Structure 1
Amino acid sequence: MGFKALLVCSFVLFFYSYGFSMAQMVPAVYVFGDSLVDVGNNNYLTLSIAKANHRHYGIDFLNHKPTGRFSNGKNAADFIGEKLGLATSPPYLSLISKGNKNENNASFINGVSFASAGAGIFDGTDERYRQSLPLTKQVNYYTNVYEELIREVGASALQKHLSKSIFAVVIGNNDLFGYFESSELRKKNTPQQYVDSMLFSLKLQLQRLYDNGGRKFEIAGVGALGCCPMFRLKNQTECVVETNYWSVQYNKGLQSMLKEWQSENQGIIYSYFDTYVAMNDLIQNPASYGFTDVKAACCGLGELNARAPCLPVSHLCPNRQDHIFWDQFHPTEAASRIFVDKIFDGSSTYTSPINMRQLVAA
């Protein structure tokens, strides 16, 4: 066997020894966030009421069974994995549960999801849902993973691995929902003060990820929250202007914060996705994307199907492809697929300073 052939064989052996496939664009994806990207962590939180573990969730997923995703099928985390040639990063809590103890290291190296429904940037956001993993706790769990992987593969090899991996962060929606639904929070903070505090706290957690190996970040802004069925229900079926205004203001602040954060640290590369613009595009131009209903939830009860969460007794729309919203707050699988298409290959209208494809290549 010649030297070049030997080198190729050694490279292939290294990849497959860590469960990599040659089709992968990156070694791993580490996911942080809320229910938009939760793939089942909350199923392991015994006290949590924020669980998508019953019908009709998962009706369009494999075997038509609920998986902990707040969707009729796949969510954004699944589609990001598909784009990158990876399996969906598994829930962290599933990996440390009984029965998986011997698989932890291999699973950690291939990517992990820490995302949790009800989670926010602030630790107190989960009070509304009784129990979730707020961002601080998610990053705490990641630091545990980081330290374990150092012991397993060594600091140098791990840093090389992490520097090529994607750190996806989808958070902030629940903080804003909480603010506009809490008279107490609104008495204590102006909207601008609250948004500024969100950005300050988020930056601290992003810095912790950077300090523990993260270099390539995919970070999403918040959506057009005032247009969710739950908020439309409170405003004669129209979008709530004030909520949308502060969603935009938060996203503007987030873009400024990310530029500042990048300038303060060497080696950070990031792609920002403007979820608000992408969602608003679907709402304003539904026919272009194959949608017919931009206001109502597919699964729910009462007016706009938004009087109650998606429950086993809920009314279910016959065609999930027609709806942007699956339940009171979350997009359908069809909408999530479109969002990730824009995350990955979107123009500067949706992504800045680069899209995810460019982030991977950087």
Structure 2
Amino acid sequence: MAFHFRQLCFSSALLAVVIQLLHGVSSQLVVVEEPISAPPPPLVDLNGGPGYGIVPALFIFGDSLIDNGNNNNIPSFAKANYFPYGIDFNGGPTGRFCNGLTMVDGIAQLLGLPLIPAYSEATGDQVLRGVNYASAAAGILPDTGGNFVGRIPFDQQIHNFEATLDQIAGKSGGAVAVADSVARSLFFIGMGSNDYLNNYLMPNFPTRNQFNSQQFGDHLVQQYTNQLTRLYNLGGRKFVVAGLGRMGCIPSILAQGNDGKCSEEVNQLVVPFNTNVKTMITNLNQNLPDAKFIYLDIAQMLEDIVANQAAYGFTTMDKGCCGIGKNRGQITCLPFETPCANRDQYVFWDAFHPTEKVNLIMAKKAFAGDRTVAYPINIQELASLS
């Protein structure tokens, strides 16, 4: 189908204006609370031990798919700390771009860890179990997401992790103990979607005039390789790297077309990136001593959900549960908007992000799935490696 990129920029600009006007109202009326849940497990023993998580900690880097509050207190249009975000989260809105839990929340639970705190909110001994550095609108490239003003690009997220290492060093008994704990911890990285949606596809960015799709995929993964190597040099050894899904099928993109079909142009656009990331992971495993990188095929996970939607209990694949306009994807979920009641039947929560149900399905696939979704091994196997 024909896809008009200029319309995407118009939608994002309109979204920014609306959020700017309404966010001031919502921030005064909505109380953002920490989730209320059962008491967390004991602090992870840096030397390991029975009854603890199967890894010491989980460190998370990414964008709005897994941001859990880092954008709340920065000047940004990319925020989700207002109702109805968090409508199904015990404690209400936290900054997660979802009705409930994210994919990394589900992975943390499967690892035996508590929900991992946002870097902006992590205090005291919480950092010993992991930190979430993800930021909505962030990308691999530093300019990505500039239309949303404030965001924390991947390079800055890595810098924030360095600050966390300093915190851990002051709590854990020396550099040797810290190095051992970090080496046994998991690093989850999910970057790249904004480098397309909020960079390459934006007419006010020069990127499309500088690179064709293959060249852009090469450019991104060259940067990505350097960034992941930096995390390795900071002590990381076990890495989970998520590929990109079929972004041509999200409500925001569907709303730009006229035939109700996914944009194959956008879907094909990200293929070079995913292909390059798989090659990158093979190379990093071969070239970095003791490194263990795995790839999560998010596109394959989502295709399985679409192909077996009835078995999973989904009825609505092409509309957001919360949003305005065509496919409920032209303007994403606004403060105090009434979302759909049957959220477990929707694949998408808003114009861009999946529902909690989809997130938890993907978490289980990533944790214990076969080689079609996790390569060369799954998260459970990676966590168990010595």
* TM-score w.r.t. length of structure 1: 0.90
| Cα distance between partner residues in 2 of 1:15 and 1:176 | 38
What residue is the counterpart of 2:86 in the other structure? Answer: 58
What residue is the counterpart of 2:174 in the other structure? Answer: 154
Confirm whether residue 27 of structure 1 aligns to residue 49 of structure 2.
no
Aligned partner letter, 2:175: A
Aligned identity (percent) is 35
What residue is the counterpart of 1:233 in the other structure? Answer: 255
What residue is the counterpart of 1:200 in the other structure? Answer: 222
Residue 278 (structure 1) shift:
0.9
Residue 182 (structure 1) shift:
3.0
What residue is the counterpart of 1:49 in the other structure? Answer: 77
Residue 252 (structure 1) shift:
1.0
What residue is the counterpart of 2:130 in the other structure? Answer: 111
Residue 279 (structure 1) shift:
1.2
- 1:106-149 Cα shifts (integer Å, max 9, x gaps): 22222111011111001111202111100000001111222343
Residue 190 (structure 1) shift:
1.1
What residue is the counterpart of 2:361 in the other structure? Answer: 338
What residue is the counterpart of 1:4 in the other structure? Answer: none
What residue is the counterpart of 1:6 in the other structure? Answer: none
Confirm whether residue 280 of structure 1 aligns to residue 308 of structure 2.
no
Q: Does the 8 Å contact 2:84/2:338 carry over to 1?
A: no
* TM-score w.r.t. length of structure 2: 0.84
Considering fraction of residues, name the structure with more helix.
1
Aligned partner letter, 1:203: T
Structure 1: give runs of 5+ residues left out of the alignment.
1-12
Mark the CA change 1:326 to 1:14 in structure 2 (over 3 Å): closer, same or farther: closer
Residue 17 (structure 1) shift:
8.9
Residue in structure 2 matching 1:264, options 278, 284, 287:
287
What residue is the counterpart of 1:5 in the other structure? Answer: none
| Cα distance between partner residues in 2 of 1:20 and 1:180 | 48
Q: Does the 8 Å contact 2:97/2:353 carry over to 1?
A: yes
5 Å-filtered alignment, 1:52-91, equals: 52-63=80-91, 65-91=92-118
Residue in structure 1 matching 2:200, options 179, 187, 195:
179
| Cα distance between partner residues in 1 of 2:46 and 2:159 | 28
5 Å-filtered alignment, 1:311-322, equals: 311-322=334-345
| Cα distance between partner residues in 2 of 1:291 and 1:14 | 38
| Cα distance between partner residues in 2 of 1:38 and 1:170 | 10
RMSD: 1.9
Residue 21 (structure 1) shift:
7.5
**How many residue pairs get matched?**
340
| Cα distance between partner residues in 1 of 2:145 and 2:326 | 27
Q: Does the 8 Å contact 1:26/1:164 carry over to 2?
A: yes
What residue is the counterpart of 1:188 in the other structure? Answer: 210
| Cα distance between partner residues in 1 of 2:101 and 2:78 | 18
